């Protein structure tokens, strides 16, 4: 079936939670010039971004510098109409019924990396200029399209300013980077095998162990009616791209890898417990890994909550019994050891490190059981999934802890190479129903209930004045 035929048979809308604009940079530049002022704008024009440099690096330079192979041939080409559709909002607006999509939320492309610029003044000005371009260019198509503003996050103060600015522009969606690079205050060679030799920076994911308290940012966003959405690529993430020759190697799993760290950081940092009305969405990363993460979290809690740690306390070892057992069952080990102080040798057996001052890894969650752990995860995180992602079925697997249903959302990647032909997006997603990987109720959650719930929980008026005004959400299967 064609996309519009699939849409005609559905009794619910289709929302694309993550398409992309391809910014026409000559049209963006006047906004950047105004936001930056003459001095900074001239510096921006004369500079070349690190991304541009590594995209052009020759193989010898890549080998010498270990510059990763970045994206190339990353947008539609042979289907030139699809290319133009991502550039011109009027054409996308016109084509959405043909694509079977009722409403589309769009994220940057040329705006990737702008929240990771080191220079404070430049970063804030670039983000402000791009956001003003998005508001001015896409605002007239608000009945079917909305575009996300970019929020720089080096400090809560700049994030709060950017949120207020986006609200003043009339933007309805904002996008956060997945973290911020920060300097290590006192780098020390050899301090840990888990640090790279010579490492001078660390990556702050806004939750556990963050330099700042970002709860005021999440609260302000919610108060302004913005859902918290994170899109990989808005900042700069180290070590997720490592091949100097193969982009597919670098890209496979990269967004899931980045969002895995972010979701763990927010969750174990207690954000979902402290902010019960605030949800978090991670985009273009799939959901299969999240099902595994939830399993891992529950299993770690079972073995390493404060009560369970009693079984691992070296102070509970019966050394006399251990000695007797080793003498009886390990004479070959003792022979190879060549004698010596048996008690001293036995002391080397347990894996003992210096415990932290607070041994409760789950202290920010205040969870009492598996159901508490799941309730702070499954309903509170949303996961952007591309149309042909068969691991979507994992979101509804009966194997999930406590019967959890995760919250996937259709994330088309419209405008980028991942999306394929635009009129094939909805058919690719519906093949999951035809192949019996999803039932029709789960498909409805993917393309309607979950994305709508994310944005309506933050802003009950989100769809007012749009093609979806007045359409009610069906009952929530995840909590029924």
CATH at residue 175: 3.20.20.140
pLDDT digits (tens, 9 = 90+) for 368-388: 999 999 999 999 999 999 999
The strand pairing partners of 19, in sequence order, are 106
Contacts of 210 (CB under 8 A, 6+ apart): 204, 265, 269
Gyration radius (Cα) of the chain, Å: 25
Is residue 379 in some structural domain?
A: yes
Selection from 225, 118, 209, 126 nearest residue 171 by Cα: 225
Domain count, the chain: 1
Is residue 336 in some structural domain?
A: no
- 162-171, 180-189, 374-383 — which is least confidently predicted? 180-189
242 close to 190: Cβ distance less than 8 angstroms:
no
Give pLDDT, residue 54.
66
Give pLDDT, residue 25.
96
Contacts of 465 (CB under 8 A, 6+ apart): 142, 143
Is residue 249 in some structural domain?
A: yes
Is residue 132 in some structural domain?
A: yes
Place of tokens 């690079």: 181
Selection from 128, 116, 106, 98 nearest residue 28 by Cα: 128
- Average pLDDT over the chain, rounded to an integer: 94
Is residue 439 in some structural domain?
A: yes
Across 306-319, average pLDDT? 93
Q: Binning pLDDT at 50, 70 and 90, where does residue 232 land?
A: very high
Percentage of the chain lying above the pLDDT 70 cut: 97
Strands 201-204 and 228-231: unpaired
Is residue 138 in some structural domain?
A: yes
Give pLDDT, residue 276.
97
Is residue 428 in some structural domain?
A: yes
Instruction: For residue 50, give its domain range.
Output: 3-184+200-303+368-458
Is residue 464 in some structural domain?
A: no
More confident residue, 149 or 341: 149
16 close to 455: Cβ distance less than 8 angstroms:
no
71 close to 251: Cβ distance less than 8 angstroms:
yes
């Amino acid at each position: 079936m064609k996309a519009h035929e699939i849409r005609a048979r559905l009794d619910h809308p289709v929302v694309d939670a993550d398409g992309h604009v391809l910014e026409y940079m000559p049209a963006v530049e006047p906004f950047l010039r105004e936001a930056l002022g003459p001095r900074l704008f001239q510096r921006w024009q004369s500079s070349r971004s690190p991304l541009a440099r590594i995209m052009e690096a020759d193989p010898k330079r890549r080998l010498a510098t270990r510059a990763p192979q970045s994206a190339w041939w990353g947008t539609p080409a042979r289907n030139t109409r699809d290319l133009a559709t991502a550039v011109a909002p009027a054409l996308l607006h016109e084509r959405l019924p043909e694509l079977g999509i009722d409403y589309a939320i769009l994220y940057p492309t040329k705006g990737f990396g702008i929240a990771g610029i080191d220079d404070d003044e430049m970063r804030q000005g670039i983000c402000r200029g791009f956001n003003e371009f998005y508001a001015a260019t896409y605002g007239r198509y608000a009945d079917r399209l909305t575009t996300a503003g970019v929020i720089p996050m080096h400090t809560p103060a700049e994030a709060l300013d950017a949120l207020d600015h986006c609200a003043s522009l009339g933007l309805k969606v904002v996008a956060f980077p997945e973290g911020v690079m920060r300097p290590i205050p006192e780098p020390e060679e050899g301090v840990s095998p888990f640090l790279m030799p010579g490492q001078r920076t660390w990556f702050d994911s806004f939750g556990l162990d963050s330099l700042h308290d970002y709860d005021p940012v999440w609260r302000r966003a919610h108060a302004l009616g913005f859902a918290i959405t994170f899109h990989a690529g808005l900042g700069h993430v180290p070590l997720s791209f490592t091949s100097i020759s193969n982009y597919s190697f670098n890209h496979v799993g990269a967004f899931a890898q980045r969002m895995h760290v972010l979701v763990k950081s927010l969750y174990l940092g207690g954000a979902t417990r402290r902010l019960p009305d605030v949800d978090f969405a991670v985009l273009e990363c799939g959901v299969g890994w999240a099902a595994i993460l939830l399993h891992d979290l529950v299993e770690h809690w079972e073995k390493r909550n404060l009560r369970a740690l009693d079984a691992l306390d070296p102070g509970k070892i019966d050394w006399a019994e251990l000695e007797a057992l080793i003498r009886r069952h390990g004479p070959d080990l003792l022979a190879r050891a060549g004698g010596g102080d048996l008690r001293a040798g036995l002391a080397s057996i347990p894996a003992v490190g210096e415990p932290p001052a607070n041994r409760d890894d789950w202290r920010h969650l205040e969870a009492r059981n598996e159901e508490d752990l799941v309730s702070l995860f499954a309903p509170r995180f949303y996961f952007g999934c591309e149309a042909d992602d068969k691991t979507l079925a994992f979101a509804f697997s009966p194997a999930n802890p406590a019967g959890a249903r995760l919250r996937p959302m259709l994330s088309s990647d419209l405008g980028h190479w991942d999306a394929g032909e635009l009129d094939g997006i909805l058919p690719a997603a519906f093949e999951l129903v035809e192949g019996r990987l999803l039932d029709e109720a789960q498909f409805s959650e993917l393309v309607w209930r979950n994305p709508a719930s994310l944005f309506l929980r933050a802003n009950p008026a989100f769809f007012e004045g749009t093609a979806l005004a007045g359409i009610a959400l069906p009952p929530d299967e995840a909590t029924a």
